[in-house]
């Protein structure tokens, strides 16, 4: 069976921020329209939590800490949400979703909007330039 996450991580992905032996970090698509929204995915295909080695989970957690710091440094988040759903795509992955201080949408509504990529016409759209700039900054931050 084809897994979109495994497929994506075999190819060159311009939104990829960081990779090591355990995990891949990439920015969510421009269509999600949320700057700083990143995915953390174990390199290996795991569908159940009980199958994920602790060293992989521990690497995910230390990466969440770094991303949290980055999002705060960049003034992109007052709160940082982390969710795992892995319903449509079974490969367990982590959504790190920043909630900006000026964002009126919070909690589950924001998570739903971001993960389903439901940005509407009234939203201010992220420019490709901002997007690329953030990815570059995140690459340097996570590599350092
Ligand atoms: Zn997979």
Confidence grade of residue 11 (pLDDT, cut at 50, 70, 90): very high
Per-residue pLDDT of 40-83, as tens digits, reads 999 999 999 999 999 999 999 999 999 999 999 999 999 999 99
Residue 118 has pLDDT above 90, yes or no: no
Query: How many Å lie between the centroid of ligand 1 and the Cα of residue 44?
Result: 7
Per-residue pLDDT of 103-112, as tens digits, reads 889 999 999 9
Classify residue 19: in a domain, yes or no. yes
- Provide the whole-model pTM: 0.94
Classify residue 129: in a domain, yes or no. no
- Domain containing residue 11: 4-118
Please give the angle made by the CA atoms of 77, 12 and 20, to the nearest 5 degrees: 65
Query: How many Å lie between the centroid of ligand 1 and the Cα of residue 125?
Result: 30
CATH code for the domain in which residue 63 is found? 3.30.428.10
Residues 23 and 41: beta-carbon distance below 8 Å: yes
Query: How many Å lie between the centroid of ligand 1 and the Cα of residue 107?
Result: 28
Classify residue 132: in a domain, yes or no. no
Classify residue 144: in a domain, yes or no. no
Count of the separate structural domains present in the chain: 1
Query: How many Å lie between the centroid of ligand 1 and the Cα of residue 84?
Result: 14
């Amino acid at each position: 069976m084809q897994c979109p996450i495994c497929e994506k991580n075999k190819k060159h992905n311009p939104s990829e921020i960081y990779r090591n032996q355990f995990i891949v970090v990439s920015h969510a698509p421009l269509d999600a329209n949320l700057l700083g929204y990143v995915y953390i995915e174990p390199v290996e295909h795991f569908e159940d939590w009980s199958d994920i080695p602790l060293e992989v989970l521990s690497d995910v957690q230390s990466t969440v800490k770094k991303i949290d710091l980055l999002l705060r440094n960049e003034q992109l988040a007052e709160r940082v949400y982390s969710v795992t759903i892995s319903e449509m795509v079974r490969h367990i992955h982590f959504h790190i979703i920043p909630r900006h201080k000026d964002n009126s949408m919070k909690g589950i509504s924001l998570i739903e909007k971001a993960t389903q990529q439901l940005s509407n016409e009234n939203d201010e759209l992220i420019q490709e330039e901002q997007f690329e700039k953030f990815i570059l900054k995140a690459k340097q931050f996570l590599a350092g």
